[in-house]
Structure 1
Amino acid sequence: MGFKTGDFPPVDVDTFLDKPLFERTKALALHWVQFGFGSPKMIPTTYVLKLVFLYLLAGTALITWTSGVGPFWDVAGWWNEPVVYQKLVLWTVLLEAIGLAGSWGPIAGKFKPMTGGVLFWARPGTIRLRPWKAVPGTGGDTRTVFDVVIYLGFLASLLLAIVLPGVPSESLSAVLPDNTSGLVAPWLMIAPVVLLVLCGLRDKTIFLASRGEQYLPAMVFFGVLPFVDMIVAAKLLICAVWIGAGVSKFGRHFTNVIPPMISNSPCVPSKWLKRAHYRDFPRDIRPSRFATFMAHVGGTTVEIITPLVLLFSTNYWLTLAGVVLMVVFHLFITSTFPLAVPLEWNLLFGYLAVFLFLGFPNQDGFGIADMSSPVLTVAIIAALAFFPALGNLRPDLVSFLPSMRQYAGNWASALWTFTPGAEEKLNTISPRPSRNQVDQLQALGYPAAVAEITMQQTIAWRSMHSQGRGLFSVLAARLDDLDRRTVREAEFACNSLIGFNFGEGHLHGLDLIEAVQKRVGFAPGEFVVCWVESQAIHSKVQHYQLIDAALGVIERGHWTVADAVNEQPWLPNGPIPLTVTWRAPQPAGETAPGQPVAP
């Protein structure tokens, strides 16, 4: 791999696309094992430069200058200043909400332009996805001027809270009498909290992109709690995120996440180490025992045990060890450049571990027992646990982000399929700030076949995860023309339609398909989707829908997760067993060419 040249799959560009789908999937999955996406070093370098100059340097310079501390390069002078902590959280929210943090750039499927976010959400007429149809005043799927105004108001309110100096706080002075920088004025939190909720009720995309499930509680704490309660509540919040993510990794999915993530890391140059995460490359690329150890000891165990230690430890050295472990944990995730690229989030959480648990240790009056009221403690814990508990029991009701299931591998997911030429119809949607990804690559100079093979690497990546084998199984069992269809990974594809995705399948389910169909008008069979809900914590199956954009849902069913994880990505034994629970009536003998067929 060079700085400007990547490791392109070793295939014959002129003939590769004529091969059967699963033959292509196998070739690209085997290539992924050793090279990942094969991106040139220039791409991760671009992300590092964005982190260094936009997030760290520009952010800390602005924050310290407006807080009366610094200079910004004197980290020892401000790292434990409460107002800096508050503003760094707000700065992260601002970048996320604009679209300059997570789900940015080519690793997330944004090639030209490299930003989604604000280009979509500040433009009337783009697609909007409301979270709940029952909420009055949220009908429709088109962004209005009102939506743009409240979104821009949300950005402005965040920026205002960042640039205004801190104000004196009695509760802060009682604990830190020598502090002169104060706290962000509590009243400045009213507007961003209210506007983020309004934005979220109108468009769940903006709420999820802003990481509202984590930063909204933090902003509420900034606005209503006295200083000690604010710090302890922040500790409970970050531990809820860590522990929730750890619990979500129980089960069969997460082990399948680690190998392809390591394979794609530019910080793991050794092909031997990458292959060690697979059982018997190239014959068997299911996760090895080493991958299982890395997943559930280096991942699950660390995310559950270490936060509990940090919450209750009153020993400096034990706390220091826990903080170091969590900082290394987040730096490791950052180094792998996961496809949703939540790099700023991981750096922030590394800093928060240091600030909260070393800057304000439990033994100095900032433990759980030091909150002003036990009732408040219980209420905060219950509120933080509500959506993770509901989301694990009923994943259809809650996004995997408020469910705290980051990186768990247990995702709602989808594959989109188009008959020849049908995908091009998506480019007729207007207004739309970007085109289909394969067209974006061609606009950058990629030959058509090279652009297509590049995008097909994403479906090979999906096949290496548990739900990918199920999705491909449904398509193979139901579409008699699958080999000639264009197959797209929905997480990438929907990025070009709504400006964001973070592995959240609820952003490209039936609501988005219906919004697209309203604007494009696909014929029956032209655009067929297999979409699957994530697995409930008490269930052994995943429930899927087969959707024809022109006809709606035409089949529902489920597969057993164990069958999916036990199969190779390219399904050498054919589709895994499927159980159909409902199928739309279909007149005998009227199946059109390219339409789904009954098993």
Structure 2
Amino acid sequence: MGFINPSPPPVEPATFVRLPLRERVRILSTHWADDGFGTPRVLHVVYVLKMLGLYFGVGIWIASATSGIAFTDVGSWYDNIVVYQKLAVWLMLLEVIGLGGAFGPLCGHFRPMVGNIRYWIRPGTIRMAPWGRRVPFTGGDERTWFDVALYVGVLASLVYPLAAQAEPVPSQFLPAGTGAQELVPPQYFVPILVLMPLMGLRDKVVFLAARSEQYLPIMLFSALFGTIASTADFVDLVVVFKVVICVVWIGAGVSKLGAHFENVIPPMVSNSPAMPGRWIKRLHYRDAPHDLRPSRVAWFMAHVGGTAVEIIVPVTLLLTTDATVALVGALVMLAFHLFITSTFPLAVPLKWNVFFGFIAIVLWVGFDPGTYNIWSFSEPWLLVPVFALLTFGPILGNLRPDLVSFLPSMRQYAGNWASAVWAMKPGVEERLNELPGVENQIDQLQRMLPTPYERDDADLTLQKTIAWRAMHSQGRGLFSLLYTHLDDIETRTVREGELMCTTILGFNFGDGHLHDARLIAAVQKRLGLEPGDLVVMWVESQPIHRRTQEYQVIDAALGVVERGTWNVADCVAQQPWLPDGPVPVQATWTAEGYVRRRTLGVAPEQLDGSSV
């Protein structure tokens, strides 16, 4: 890849778009192994400058302007808990606006590069109520002026604690050896603790985009434990903050158990501009470009460098009282997050990773674990509800992923995602522009600056994401469904569900629950498509105790027409382009009258005969 221009396409775009789908997936997945998304390096520079300048430069400046922290004294950033509070609020505000993880081309926002606020401050755009049929006054899928006012209220409620002047903790309430401390007054967190859940009931997209599962607990415990009337109170507050971050780490580590995560590592490393040569990228594949299954190196990176680190080190940090052990553990987690940041994963959760690495230093180096540890918690029984609250989402989400978003389930970038691919007849993609606030990404790319894309080049660029999906375990199952259900697949436009979601809702972060049958129904309500115009293959995350994933075939005009399962082991054994044909799928329910269309070029014995 170049500094200004993306990496050259592996095939002339005009030729590429006329190739069979399986061949396109093969070409782009093998190309991804060497070049990733092929993003110009100038965009990586933009992301880095934004991360260091907007996220942390401005964030710490805000903390210093509203407290006794000296902006020019880097040492003071690490030993005052108010920095932790202010940064959490600031980063949540940026996420809600759209300047956080879902910003820019690596999340499908090409021009303009900001989604979120442009959609959520506009009446008439689509919203997604999580329990619209059960919670009064939350039904419907259209954003109203009330929703806009509530969203503006959420923004104001985040500015409120940011602008609040921090109050010093009386020195007599600080343990010996602890420097001067300040805290945001507890009452300043109450508005966001009220308004964000209300916003979530009206539109779960805003709630999840805010990374509420990460930041709301910090604000909740700041409100509950932030009144300091004794030394024990301040120790308890810091310890609870340590518990919060450790539960996030351990939950993420547990989610990486299984076969999915080792398939995440190779395409993630291939996308890294920090890798010094293609040979390092190819080490993560068995025999690139011929065999793109993960190698032993990828397995080691996934389950030793990933799973083990995210479980063992946080458990150690949570239990240790030794400053040296804490220092080593904090540095390991800092390095862990910096490595993830260097790969520029799609959806670009850069600032979250740097924030957690930074906070590891704050909590375990800035606050001596000999004093601030769970063994010194003043009321040990209170840790039970704290742990119960923090682990409820991960436990339920791993057992019943259909009930919980992968974000509260703490499965960030674990590869075990609810996912989808869209297959549209000619003209349907263009009709998406009829939706309020929506411009399809082909049109966005053709308006890119400084160099607009040609139509075929834009199409090839978007198809890189379906190849990326095929490199992951669930992608092989989704493409198997395409081949076994649609005999006209070569005439259709196939798009990654995440890109469609971020186009229609303004945000997506890998959570297929945002673009499930309910979103397809909302699109159908507005476009009135004919049966077969838009067919979506959708799959739920794998429960931790099962070996299968449950899928749905959704026709926009007909609703869900088939449900079934596939074995994860069958998916991970295949190449992204499925040269041996579709993986076996087992239909468990078929809508009355629905018949699969036989795929051209696929032998009947490769299909599930019960539904053919």
TM-score range, shorter chain: over 0.9
1:283 counterpart letter in structure 2: H
Alignment match of 1:267 (pick from 270, 274, 277): 274
For the residue of structure 2 that corresponds to 1:67, the secondary structure is: coil
Q: Give how far 1:115 is off.
A: 0.5
1:443 and 2:447 correspond = yes
Provide Cα deviations, 1:186-238, integer angstroms capped at 9, x if missing partner. Answer: 11010011111111111111111111111111101010114222211111111
Q: Give how far 1:170 is off.
A: 5.3
1:32 and 2:29 correspond = no
Show the 5 A alignment for 1:36-185. Answer: 36-70=36-70, 72-133=71-132, 134-169=134-169, 173-175=173-175, 182-185=182-185
Give the whole-Å Cα distance in 1 for the aligned partners of 2:480 and 2:492: 15
Give the 3 Å change call, closer, same or farther, for CA 172–407 of structure 1 in structure 2.
Answer: farther
Alignment match of 1:362 (pick from 355, 369, 378): 369
1:267 counterpart letter in structure 2: A
For the residue of structure 1 that corresponds to 2:58, the secondary structure is: helix
For the residue of structure 1 that corresponds to 2:563, the secondary structure is: strand
Tell me what 1:285 maps to: 292
2:128 counterpart letter in structure 1: L
Q: Give how far 1:169 is off.
A: 4.1
TM-score (norm 2): 0.94
Question: Does structure 2 conserve the Cα–Cα contact (< 8 Å) formed by 1:334 and 1:346?
Answer: yes
2:484 counterpart letter in structure 1: A
Q: After TM superposition, which residue ranges in structure 1, 4 or more long, deviate above 3 angstroms?
A: 168-181, 587-591
1:439 counterpart letter in structure 2: D
Give the 3 Å change call, closer, same or farther, for CA 175–137 of structure 1 in structure 2.
Answer: farther
TM-score (norm 1): 0.96
For the residue of structure 2 that corresponds to 1:87, the secondary structure is: helix
Tell me what 1:393 maps to: 399
Tell me what 2:254 maps to: 247
Give the whole-Å Cα distance in 1 for the aligned partners of 2:394 and 2:596: 47
Question: Does structure 2 conserve the Cα–Cα contact (< 8 Å) formed by 1:319 and 1:357?
Answer: yes
1:477 counterpart letter in structure 2: T
2:408 counterpart letter in structure 1: P
Question: Does structure 1 conserve the Cα–Cα contact (< 8 Å) formed by 2:174 and 2:234?
Answer: no
Give the whole-Å Cα distance in 2 for the aligned partners of 1:446 and 1:229: 55
Give the 3 Å change call, closer, same or farther, for CA 409–518 of structure 1 in structure 2.
Answer: same
For the residue of structure 2 that corresponds to 1:559, the secondary structure is: strand
Give the whole-Å Cα distance in 1 for the aligned partners of 2:477 and 2:96: 33
Show the 5 A alignment for 1:536-575. Answer: 536-575=543-582
Q: Give how far 1:477 is off.
A: 0.2
Alignment match of 1:333 (pick from 340, 358, 380): 340
Runs of 5+ unmatched residues, structure 1: none
For the residue of structure 1 that corresponds to 2:167, the secondary structure is: coil
For the residue of structure 2 that corresponds to 1:136, the secondary structure is: coil
Tell which deviates more after alignment, 54-63 or 529-538.
54-63
For the residue of structure 1 that corresponds to 2:446, the secondary structure is: helix
Tell which deviates more after alignment, 349-358 or 258-267.
349-358
Q: Give how far 1:80 is off.
A: 1.2
Q: Give how far 1:73 is off.
A: 2.5
Tell me what 1:586 maps to: 593
Question: Does structure 1 conserve the Cα–Cα contact (< 8 Å) formed by 2:561 and 2:594?
Answer: no
Q: Give how far 1:14 is off.
A: 2.1
Question: Does structure 1 conserve the Cα–Cα contact (< 8 Å) formed by 2:486 and 2:596?
Answer: no
Give the whole-Å Cα distance in 1 for the aligned partners of 2:174 and 2:57: 32
1:540 counterpart letter in structure 2: R
Question: Does structure 1 conserve the Cα–Cα contact (< 8 Å) formed by 2:402 and 2:540?
Answer: yes
Give the whole-Å Cα distance in 2 for the aligned partners of 1:361 and 1:142: 51
Question: Does structure 1 conserve the Cα–Cα contact (< 8 Å) formed by 2:485 and 2:596?
Answer: no
Give the whole-Å Cα distance in 1 for the aligned partners of 2:369 and 2:460: 53
1:483 and 2:520 correspond = no
Give the whole-Å Cα distance in 2 for the aligned partners of 1:12 and 1:68: 59
Alignment match of 1:420 (pick from 412, 416, 426): 426
For the residue of structure 2 that corresponds to 1:18, the secondary structure is: coil
Give the 3 Å change call, closer, same or farther, for CA 588–193 of structure 1 in structure 2.
Answer: closer
1:163 counterpart letter in structure 2: A
Give the whole-Å Cα distance in 2 for the aligned partners of 1:333 and 1:319: 21
Tell which deviates more after alignment, 8-17 or 555-564.
8-17
Runs of 5+ unmatched residues, structure 2: 226-232, 601-606
Question: Does structure 2 conserve the Cα–Cα contact (< 8 Å) formed by 1:494 and 1:508?
Answer: yes
For the residue of structure 1 that corresponds to 2:474, the secondary structure is: helix
Q: What RMSD in Å do the two structures reach over aligned CA positions?
A: 1.9
Tell me what 2:7 maps to: 7
Provide Cα deviations, 1:270-328, integer angstroms capped at 9, x if missing partner. Answer: 10000110001122110001100110000000000000111111222111110110000
Give the whole-Å Cα distance in 1 for the aligned partners of 2:262 and 2:177: 49
For the residue of structure 1 that corresponds to 2:581, the secondary structure is: coil
For the residue of structure 1 that corresponds to 2:579, the secondary structure is: coil
Q: Give how far 1:347 is off.
A: 1.1
Give the whole-Å Cα distance in 2 for the aligned partners of 1:154 and 1:176: 39
Question: Does structure 2 conserve the Cα–Cα contact (< 8 Å) formed by 1:171 and 1:228?
Answer: no
Tell which deviates more after alignment, 7-16 or 580-589.
580-589
1:300 and 2:307 correspond = yes
Give the whole-Å Cα distance in 2 for the aligned partners of 1:222 and 1:519: 43
For the residue of structure 1 that corresponds to 2:398, the secondary structure is: helix
Question: Does structure 1 conserve the Cα–Cα contact (< 8 Å) formed by 2:89 and 2:162?
Answer: yes
Tell which deviates more after alignment, 164-173 or 49-58.
164-173
Give the whole-Å Cα distance in 1 for the aligned partners of 2:171 and 2:388: 25
Tell me what 1:467 maps to: 474
1:586 counterpart letter in structure 2: G
